[in-house]
Structure 1
Amino acid sequence: MLTFDTIAQVLWTSLATSSYLVLFAVAFALVLKVNQIFNFAQAAVMTIAFYSAHAVVSMAGQPGVLGFLAALGSAMLAAAILEIFGFRSLRRRRASQMFVFIFTLIVSELVAYLAMLIFGTWPTTIFPSLFWPVSLVGNVAVSAWDVPALGAMLGSLALLFVFLRYSQPGRFMIAVADNPDLAELYGIEKNRIYLYAMLIAGLLIGVGMFLYGSRAQVQATTSIELMLFAIAATIIGGIGNVWGAALTAIVLGVVQNGSVLFIPSEWQGFLLYVFLFLAIVFFPNGVKLPERKRGLARKVASVDLGEGAAAAKPATAGEG
């Protein structure tokens, strides 16, 4: 029998665990928005970030702070290498989107197999134990992991919003996302902006994988499943809408985790593929809000490309 306390507990836990899912979805959506790439190689960056933290904390016995920095640093380095030696090279050769798609899949599978060779196939974690102290807030159990995880997610999104809205590189990213050729005509170097987008995505991935690896067991292929969730959230939220992907990730995370109230927990993984199927078949352009609500949502939660391009043009014209 469902009670208010049970529902409240499931909703709180679902909201907390959606923190890393949001970061993965935003990272995927940002690269798709700016670089115009379905970056399935994000799974490779996620794997590298986790095992870097695992090696520092669990294997070398270093503090969690160093593991966190290792996750961030390795994810950014992997993202930079992927952009400079992978995507940039493919752009120079004018490779087709299908070829880029195949390249990203190969990279993800290659890194997964290398991780299995180096670290084995058994599930592992960053910290030796996954048990966190729990406090009761009313009748809801709140673990010591929940609040920092939500804080890390909200803080990351806030910094990203401020960066895109108010910094010059952020405005340049919006201009490139809108029209890369026109942005380059105004003096914005596309390759540098593409690298910025990959580095920011690497940061988000590093934070997300540290959160996930400190709460759940990870295998070399786990990142692929997490990436599929990010793809579903990106498609349903609207391709090119970073904040729509974030909101959708929260909703899908709550639905997936809250499904334990109605179906056995072993079916939760199946729901991921249901999300993907529905996203591709029924929402290829995302969920469309009514016109009035969509206008309000755009003011509150999205960065207008036209404003970004307009802000970028005077700045570059002045520099020239």
Structure 2
Amino acid sequence: MVWIDFVNLLINGVVEGLVVALPALAMTLVMGVNRFPNAATGDFMTAGAFAALAMQLLAGWPLWAATVVAALVTAGVAGLSHELIFRRLARQTMVASLLSAIGLGFLLRSLIGYVAGHDQRTFQIPLVRAWNFSGVRVLPSDLAIAGVALASLAVVFVLLFKTSFGRQLRAVADSPDLARASGIRARSLLLRLWLLVGALSALGGVLLGSKAVVTPDFGWESLIPAFAAMVLGGIGSPVGAVLGALLLSVMQELLSPWLGASYKLALSFVVLAGVLVVRPAGLMGRVELVR
């Protein structure tokens, strides 16, 4: 592989990693606070992508406005799922919440397929030519995707580490009983967390859909890379989730000339299994966060 090919693959891996970081971060937040892997995250992504598609096709809205509506709609779906399902299972085992999340994902997928059909759909995005720098090709649309993802991640990290919302969230994650005794209203806090998770997932779905075709199953297919990124970075670590997504996506892109693009998902499985065997805490996680 010549250095130009390496740079092109590296750029593609970084852009894809920033997109995968959004659902990986959403899963990490739920895992760190609610203590279960939210298997419905991929279908939240699908719901967001189809909500944005609907606004484009039915109302003719530009993609940025459709994305805002999609984030609001999916945030509402996530918040409603928390209030109706996961809040009521808070005292149950992790398996109960996990199975409920899987069932919720199947329900959302089936509803989307019933309403929108199973045809492949694409966003209405203007075609642009790649910028060529002596063989290094950069798509302006990829720069826009990376910029939106970076800005969104920055906003979330400000919320998590610079606001009372983030401090209260960490307190609930460390000790729910102690946080409740300190006067923290856990129910309102967790609802806001799920609204954030829904918005993040929707944004990830729209950004991912703008690079590929959108089907009712495309979010489910993106769940394994997001989950592998969360485990690689460290379960419960927001910074680790982003780092894991970047490392995994870059690794997939750099190995694609030898393995083929169809084996990217298999590589996610290999990374997931390897991390669980060698270092279950991941790069930046702590074992005690999972209980």
Q: CA deviation at 1:174?
A: 1.1
Q: Per-residue displacement from partner, 1:19-77 (whole Å, max 9, x unpaired)?
A: 21011111110111122231112122112111101111135432212211122111211
Residue 115 (str. 1) matches residue 82 (str. 2): no
Counterpart residue number, 1:15: 14
Q: Which moved more, 1:36-45 or 1:167-176?
A: 36-45
Residue 180 (str. 1) matches residue 176 (str. 2): yes
Retained in 2: the 8 A contact 1:35–1:197? no
Counterpart residue number, 1:137: 133
Retained in 1: the 8 A contact 2:28–2:235? yes
Counterpart residue number, 1:161: 157
Q: CA deviation at 1:153?
A: 1.8
Alpha-carbon distance in structure 1 between the residues aligned to 2:106 and 2:278? 29
Q: Per-residue displacement from partner, 1:271-312 (whole Å, max 9, x unpaired)?
A: 2222232233333221369xxxx9xxxxxxxxxx9xxxxxxx
- Structure 2 counterpart SS, 1:136: strand
Residue 239 (str. 1) matches residue 235 (str. 2): yes
Retained in 2: the 8 A contact 1:235–1:283? no
One-letter amino acid of the counterpart of residue 268, structure 1: K
Counterpart residue number, 2:41: 42
- Structure 2 counterpart SS, 1:156: helix
Q: Per-residue displacement from partner, 1:105-159 (whole Å, max 9, x unpaired)?
A: 0110111111111112222222267x43321234311112111211112212221
Q: CA deviation at 1:86?
A: 1.2
Q: Which structure 2 residues correspond to residues 266-277 of structure 1 after superposition, within 5 A?
A: 266-277=262-273
Residue 261 (str. 1) matches residue 257 (str. 2): yes
Counterpart residue number, 2:195: 199
Q: Which runs of 4+ in 1 moved over 4 A?
A: none
Q: CA deviation at 1:89?
A: 2.0
Counterpart residue number, 1:31: 30
Retained in 2: the 8 A contact 1:58–1:125? no
One-letter amino acid of the counterpart of residue 260, structure 2: P
Counterpart residue number, 1:103: 100
Q: TM-score, normalised by structure 2?
A: 0.92
Q: Per-residue displacement from partner, 1:153-184 (whole Å, max 9, x unpaired)?
A: 22122212221222111211111111111011
Alpha-carbon distance in structure 1 between the residues aligned to 2:164 and 2:213? 40
- Structure 2 counterpart SS, 1:215: coil
Identity across matched positions, percent: 29
Alpha-carbon distance in structure 2 between the residues aligned to 1:167 and 1:138? 45
- Structure 2 counterpart SS, 1:141: strand
Q: Which moved more, 1:247-256 or 1:68-77?
A: 68-77
Q: Which protein has the larger Cα radius of gyration, Structure 1 or Structure 2?
A: 1
Root-mean-square deviation over aligned CA pairs: 2.0
Residue 126 (str. 1) matches residue 116 (str. 2): no
One-letter amino acid of the counterpart of residue 24, structure 2: A
Retained in 2: the 8 A contact 1:229–1:272? yes
**What is the total number of aligned residue pairs between the two structures?**
287
Q: Per-residue displacement from partner, 1:226-284 (whole Å, max 9, x unpaired)?
A: 12211111112111111111101000011112222222222223222222322333332
One-letter amino acid of the counterpart of residue 41, structure 1: A
Alpha-carbon distance in structure 2 between the residues aligned to 1:199 and 1:32? 15
Shift in alpha-carbon separation, 1:283–1:210, aligned structure 2, 3 A: same
Retained in 2: the 8 A contact 1:80–1:198? yes
Retained in 1: the 8 A contact 2:79–2:191? yes
Counterpart residue number, 1:314: none
- Structure 1 regions of 5+ residues with no counterpart? 295-304, 306-320
One-letter amino acid of the counterpart of residue 183, structure 2: G
Q: TM-score, normalised by structure 1?
A: 0.84
